[in-house]
Amino acid sequence: MTTETLNGTVVLISGASSGMGRATAERLAAAGAKVALAARRVDKLEELADKLRADGHEALVVAADLTGAANAQGAVDKTIAEFGRLDTLINAAGVMLNGASEESPLEEWDRMVDINLRGLMYVTKAALPHLLEAADTSPRSVADVVNISSVAGRFAAPTVAIYNATKFAVTGATEAWRQEFTTRNLRFSVIEPGRTQTELFDQKANSDADFTAAFGEVEQLHAEDIADAIAYIVTNPRRVAVNEIVIRPTDQP
């Protein structure tokens, strides 16, 4: 996308250090938005911010572990202090640590709940008043929250129980929030990707092999494909609310 349809708006992206979050930051910056980049890996954030600034965009590094409520509030506060407003929140941080339930450490289950669900909740809660204010004051007359769920938020599978639980929760919460805020020009949308080339499958040994065994070899989606979908959602005029997008590789059963 090269058309500058988000001029004057501010986007906060969790999980911006890699994958879908990084690709989305690049895409929305190209559309004219100022971007606040939130994640734990400061070196990755600084590298991305430098790249965006070199291309003439405004970028803010927000180094934070968003699984803590105070940290999430601090990330939102830093964004407001630097840019003065918040129009769009992209919750892209996530972790997938699947495996046989009898053998999986409880710590891995806790980590998925903390990152995939608690972090999303904490950032969304902190961002709400600013998003509602932006919806009232923006020339676009709308604000957006886009949550990245997964096809695992629609269909359960063996050895995926806790990841399923977190993604079902994200999908359900997004729809409930959509209904709650639909009359206040704050749109909530959920994207449920299938197999995508990201670091998600690098987070636990053999997870990629497990996927291949279950679904076979497929031509995977790219992170930029998900960024395209997000850009489509948040650049639509106020009258258009895209509630849910399921996006899979063509070859994925």
Which residues does the chain have with pLDDT short of 50?
Answer: 1-2, 204
Say if residues 188 and 145 touch (Cβ distance below 8 Å). Answer: yes
Tokens of 42: 């400061």
47-70: per-residue pLDDT in tens?
A: 999 999 999 999 999 999 999 999
* CA-closest candidate to residue 203, choices 115, 73, 86, 137: 115
pLDDT (tens digit per residue) in 192-236: 999 888 666 555 455 555 555 555 677 889 999 999 999 999 999
Q: Which of 56, 76, 80, 47 is nearest to 4 (CA)?
A: 56
DSSP 8-state assignment for residue 180: H
Query: What's the rounded Cα separation, in Å, for the pair 63 and 253?
Result: 38
pTM of the complete model? 0.92
Token pair listed for 4: 């500058």
8 A C-beta contact, residue 33 and residue 5: no
Distance (Å, whole) CA 85 – CA 188: 18
Q: Which of 238, 137, 231 is nearest to 185 (CA)?
A: 238
Looking at residue 214, what is its pLDDT? 57
Residues known to be catalytic = 163
Q: Which domains does the chain have, with CATH numbers?
A: 10-247 (3.40.50.720)
Contacts of 202 (CB under 8 A, 6+ apart): 208
- Give residue 2's pLDDT: 42
CA atoms within 13 A on the CB side of 66: 36
d(CA 165, CA 77): 30
Cα angle vertex 107, ends 113, 206, to 5°?
Answer: 90
